[in-house]
């Protein structure tokens, strides 16, 4: 059988050789075809090959597999029907607008924009929006909203899966709500964000304060964050600290009963 794997960092023949030499040693893997431009490997193997082991080997070598499953496929169509989410997005946008300059010439990126609950609220006040998300189904809902609301779609760039795919050269403000806990390598993401932000630009991140894992039914890379650790990471990336506060509390029915989850807002400047 054949399995296609999308991998990061595979840029040259040397990378392909390294990958081939390692993966072909796994019992049951008998062929690898690499496409460097598409960052894709097509692996010929028996059904017994454990794909988790293959992924672990790739990660060990520095070529982590990119997970292309649309994790929000089942949630996208009903996403905006949840009043708690809508209220959370409104509180976040209100605090951002109160704290940092949002001007008619501002180019704003919403990272992990989903259906646009956060980013679209800025549309009347900014020059352009860059809406980044790796879920095709969330972006589909967003695009329909943009059409239904008759927003100027020329001022909106839809980007998927990641910041590396955006055409806009730089942005002045980056906002991101409830997405960082889905990101395995937050240090790399912050590096990419820093590179795309103009000097003097701002980043505003909202997410869950460290929790016991009961917020999600499924596993996610981070069960919330220690805000101080995240601030330290921001400053290591080069950002200057502006603000860190608890801006919202989510009451949610979990498998452990009803629980309250505080959410932090961190704002930093380049």
Ligand X SMILES: C[S@@+](CC[C@H](N)C(=O)[O-])C[C@H]1O[C@@H](n2cnc3c(N)ncnc32)[C@H](O)[C@@H]1O
Q: Which residue of 183, 190, 205, 230 would you call a contact of ligand X, by CB under 6 A?
A: 183
CB closer to ligand X out of 132 and 267: 132
Min dist CB 49 to ligand X, Å, is 26
User: Could you tell me the smallest distance in angstroms from the CB atom of residue 133 to ligand X?
Assistant: 4
Nearer to ligand X, 118 or 166 (CB): 118
When the beta carbons of 34 and 193 are compared against ligand X, the nearer one is 193
Number of residues that bind ligand X (CB under 6 A): 20
Minimum distance from CB of 110 to ligand X (Å)? 7
Instruction: For residue 230, state whether it binds ligand X (rule: CB under 6 A).
Output: no
Cα 232 from chain centroid (whole Å): 20
Is there binding between residue 178 and ligand X (CB under 6 A)? yes
Contacting ligand X within 108-137 (CB under 6 A): 112-114, 117-118, 132-135
Nearer to ligand X, 84 or 236 (CB): 84
Site residues, ligand X (CB under 6 A): 72, 85, 89, 112-114, 117-118, 132-135, 138, 161-162, 177-179, 182-183
């Amino acid at each position: 059988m054949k399995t296609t794997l999308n991998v990061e960092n595979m840029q040259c023949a040397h990378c392909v050789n390294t990958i081939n030499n390692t993966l072909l040693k796994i019992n049951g893997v008998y062929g690898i075809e690499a496409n460097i431009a598409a960052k894709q490997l097509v692996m010929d193997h028996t059904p017994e090959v454990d794909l988790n082991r293959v992924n672990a080997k790739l990660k060990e070598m520095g070529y982590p597999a990119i997970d292309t499953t649309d994790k929000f496929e089942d949630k996208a169509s009903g996403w905006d029907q949840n009043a708690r989410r809508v209220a959370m997005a409104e509180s976040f946008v209100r605090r951002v607008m109160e704290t940092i300059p949002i001007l008619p010439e501002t180019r704003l990126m919403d990272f992990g924009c989903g259906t646009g609950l956060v980013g679209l609220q800025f549309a009347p006040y900014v020059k352009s929006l860059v809406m980044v998300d790796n879920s095709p189904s969330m972006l589909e809902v967003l695009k329909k909203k943009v059409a239904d609301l008759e927003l100027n779609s020329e001022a909106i760039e839809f980007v998927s899966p990641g910041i590396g795919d955006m055409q806009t050269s730089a942005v002045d403000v980056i906002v991101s709500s409830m997405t960082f806990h889905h990101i395995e390598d937050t240090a790399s993401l912050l590096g990419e964000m820093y590179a795309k932000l103009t000097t003097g630009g701002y980043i505003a991140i909202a997410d869950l304060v460290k929790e016991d894992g009961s917020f999600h039914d499924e596993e996610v890379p981070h069960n919330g964050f220690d805000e101080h650790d995240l601030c330290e990471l921001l400053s290591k990336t080069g950002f200057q600290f502006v603000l860190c506060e608890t801006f919202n509390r989510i009451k949610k029915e979990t498998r452990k009963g009803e629980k309250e989850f505080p959410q932090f807002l961190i704002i930093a400047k380049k």
